[in-house]
Structure 1
Amino acid sequence: LEVDALDGRPGVFSARYGGPGLTDTDRYLKLLDELSQYPARPRTARFRCIVALAAPGRTLHTSEGIIEGQILTAPRGAHGFGYDPVFYVPEHQAAMAELPSAIKNQISHRGRASAAAKRWLTANLASIDIE
């Protein structure tokens, strides 16, 4: 999760944001508390995932998946995990945690990165030398 008002934090440390032993709820509440200190800053954010396909000693391909959104001021919804209750997806007018799994899987950053990696593999599998 990259939050613009926090200069891209928590970023790659999203799962460890706030320190060890915190629950998902603890982490998103910490995020909301930190954002409350910057009320004039935009609450724009994105989930980003990178999938790397590798062979011994080299990277074959990387794919990126991004979903843009905003951080809510309070959690909404009961589905999903992590920051889903506070991540609002404007095109669906809902928090990620309010979306049915089928829709969430179609639009998620992980799904997008995985689909791009699959397309690349499908197009290039015959020509890949992995030895």
Structure 2
Amino acid sequence: MKKIIVATKNQGKVREMISAFKDLDVELHSLSEFGALPDAVEDGTTFAENALKKASFYAKETNCACLADDSGLEIDVLDGAPGIYSARFAGYHADDAANNRKMVDELAKKDVTSSRAHYVCALAFVDTDGSVLECEGRCTGQIRNFAKGDGGFGYDPYFYLPQLDKTMAQITLAEKNAVSHRGAALRNMENLLRGYLK
């Protein structure tokens, strides 16, 4: 069984990855199991660059294979913002509530209550021998200025999926894995890992 460190302390992301890779011969562990580790520098200009930087950094720090994601929200009316700054849209130490308030404020500045938007997830796997696997997933929907649902995390309560008539925060984990950007990226990565681990 291949031990893989998931380069996040976000338990929501870890749960999604465990669910997505349940059929692979892998054992996933969170960074939180390693105590105090330095933060990876995420100074890339794209989701893919940041995911690879994180995976490479933590593979070296833990001496284990590492899987990292960089994901975020791109809102059309905001010219793609918050983009790679999604997790820190309202400031470096901002929480979900602060980021969501900032997003709603930015929509108000544009005098709109909703916009076409895209969740993007880039995944990078780096093994201890330097082998690299990379992929991406996207989910298009509508960002709205009011929240619905109490599931998920991040911008999920504001991200409306017209095809389901629900927000990301109103759907089950199985539904989320089927339609989300991370679900798409994880399916792509599952296929890549299946071939790699043979």
Give the structure-1-normalised TM-score: 0.84
Alignment match of 1:23 (pick from 95, 99, 109): 95
Bigger relative contact order, structure 1 or 2 (CA pairs below 8 A, ≥6 apart): 1
For residues 94-105 of structure 1, the aligned pairs below 5 Å read 94-105=166-177
Alignment match of 1:67 (pick from 139, 144, 167): 139
Q: Is the 8 A contact 2:113 2:144 kept in 1?
A: no
Aligned length: 126
Q: CA RMSD in A?
A: 2.1
> More displaced, 78-87 or 21-30?
21-30
Quote how far apart the aligned CAs of 1:111 are: 1.8
Alignment match of 1:86 (pick from 158, 171, 184): 158
For residues 1-131 of structure 1, the aligned pairs below 5 Å read 1-39=73-111, 43-55=115-127, 60-126=132-198
Name the CA shift for 1:41/1:57 in 2 (closer, same or farther; >3 Å): farther
Give the structure-2-normalised TM-score: 0.57
Amino acid at match of 1:111: G
Identity over aligned pairs, percent: 37
CA distance in 1, matches of 2:112, 2:102: 18
Quote how far apart the aligned CAs of 1:121 are: 2.2
Q: Specify every segment of 5 or more residues in structure 1 that has no aligned partner in the other structure, as ranges.
A: 127-131
